[in-house]
Amino acid sequence: MTDTLRRVTLTAVTGLGLCLTLLPAGQAQAQAPTRVPCGDVAALKTAISDANTNGGTIALAPRCTYSLTAADNPDDGLPEITGKVRITGDRTTVQRAPSAAASFRVFHVTQGGSLSLDSLTVRGGDASGSGFAAGGGGIFNDQGRLTLTDATVRDNNAGFLGGGLWNNGGTLVLKNTTVRDNETQVAGGVATTGTMTMRGGSLRDNTASFWGGGLGNAGDTTLNNVSVDGNNVGEGNGGLGGGIMTMSISSGTGTQTGPLRLNSTQVRDNIAENSGGGIFIGFEEPTTLYKSVVTRNTANGGPEQGGGINNDGGRFGVIIRPTGSSERQQSKAGASAKQTLPEVNLIRSAVFKNHPTNCAPPGSVPRCDAVGSAPATNTPQADRS
């Protein structure tokens, strides 16, 4: 009787072992997120380094602020993202501390890296230096993949390009994300030469001193149900594109540009010191507005400037050199009196109540009305947080 019981027990245990062996690895051993205590920056850096090697999710404490007082490397506050990293929070902030003596951005995604940020605010970054080193005050995505969901990128500064975000030839996805109150010379909110898709959220109250107050597009960009609102360009530099500017950007290895499409998107209350209060089209790529509105934007460069949309004819591109210098360069198309204007498609869209004109030059945007509205001052709007 005892021997029989032993044999039955052994058989049951052996069978259980076989069942466990046959379970998928993901069910048998699920990877738990790495939890980082509130404010523990050292633990956050360690968690990122581990995730770069092994992947996984990093969970930050809800409603907590992680303040970076010193750089992890010469340009960035946190370790570079080289692997597949996801960081989640709940109204959590990761910031360069206001007391930090050195200038550095917050996040940097390198070529082949992937970073996802959920319910986080990235703020206070300061990208100084020259060239691309002075791009992306909050986040620099250098040929990687960057996804922000229910996030905010605000109060960042870049010495040259992309005050909030600089997407250099990578993939940028923004879902219900706000990019606001960032500042730089070119593309106050976001600069992109890669693929950018934005669903919901807003680009608002950003400032650029030369071109593209809210967005500088030199890639393939689609905005779905986005508000481009209250951005400002120009500080005595003849600013172009208060809300959005399409442009070409050259890094010395090639020139990038691409189409722009706005779906159910609103461009309003943006201001350009010179032209293109809402949108300045500065390169030979199509721009399409579908079920979108461009209204109450202002260009202060004179009575013939495009307050809503200025279709420049592709005359101007932004040239970025390794030294960090830039220039507004006239293209061959712009030198020709018979140049072909970039294609601008207004599909079930409206351009109205912009100052001093809705679109310029006359006839450059088919189906655009030329009725103006009251002028506005060329100053950023007050913080509307």
- Read off the pLDDT of residues 119-154 as tens digits, 9 standing for 90 and up: 999 999 999 877 777 899 999 999 999 999 999 999
50 backbone dihedrals φ, ψ, rounded to 5°: -65, -40
Give the sheet arrangement for strand 232-233, strand by strand.
126-127, 157-158, 183-186, 207-211, 232-233, 271-272, 298-299
DSSP 134: G
pLDDT tens string 34-47: 999 999 999 999 99
Q: How confident is the model at residue 111 (pLDDT cuts 50, 70, 90)?
A: very high
What's the pLDDT score for residue 339? Answer: 52
The letter for the amino acid at 360 is A
Q: How confident is the model at residue 338 (pLDDT cuts 50, 70, 90)?
A: very low
Q: pTM for the whole thing?
A: 0.86
Residue 377 has pLDDT above 90, yes or no: no
What HEC string does 140-165 produce?
A: EEECCEEEEECCEEECCEECCECCCE
pLDDT tens string 151-190: 999 999 999 999 999 999 999 999 999 999 999 999 999 9
d(CA 76, CA 83) in angstroms, rounded, equals: 16
Collapsing DSSP to helix, strand or coil, 116 comes out as: strand
Helical residues (DSSP H) of the chain, grouped into ranges: 2-22, 25-28, 41-54, 332-335
What's the pLDDT score for residue 7? Answer: 44
Query: Exposed, middle or buried: residue 343 (CB in 10 Å: 0-12, 13-18, 19+)?
Result: middle
d(CA 206, CA 165) in angstroms, rounded, equals: 11
Work out the percent of the chain whose per-residue pLDDT is above 90. Answer: 69
What's the pLDDT score for residue 381? Answer: 47
CA 327 to chain centre: 22
What's the pLDDT score for residue 369? Answer: 64
Compute the average pLDDT of residues 367-382. Answer: 53
Q: How confident is the model at residue 31 (pLDDT cuts 50, 70, 90)?
A: confident
Other C-beta atoms lying within 10 Å of the C-beta of residue 90: 14
DSSP 31: P
What is the CATH architecture of 29-360? 3 Solenoid (2.160)
Query: Exposed, middle or buried: residue 337 (CB in 10 Å: 0-12, 13-18, 19+)?
Result: exposed
Residue 19 has pLDDT above 50, yes or no: no
The highest-confidence range among 99-113, 130-144, 340-354, by mean pLDDT, is 99-113
Query: Exposed, middle or buried: residue 221 (CB in 10 Å: 0-12, 13-18, 19+)?
Result: buried
Work out the percent of the chain whose per-residue pLDDT is above 70. Answer: 79
Residue 97 has pLDDT above 70, yes or no: yes
In angstroms, the first-to-last Cα distance of the chain is 79
Average pLDDT, the chain: 85
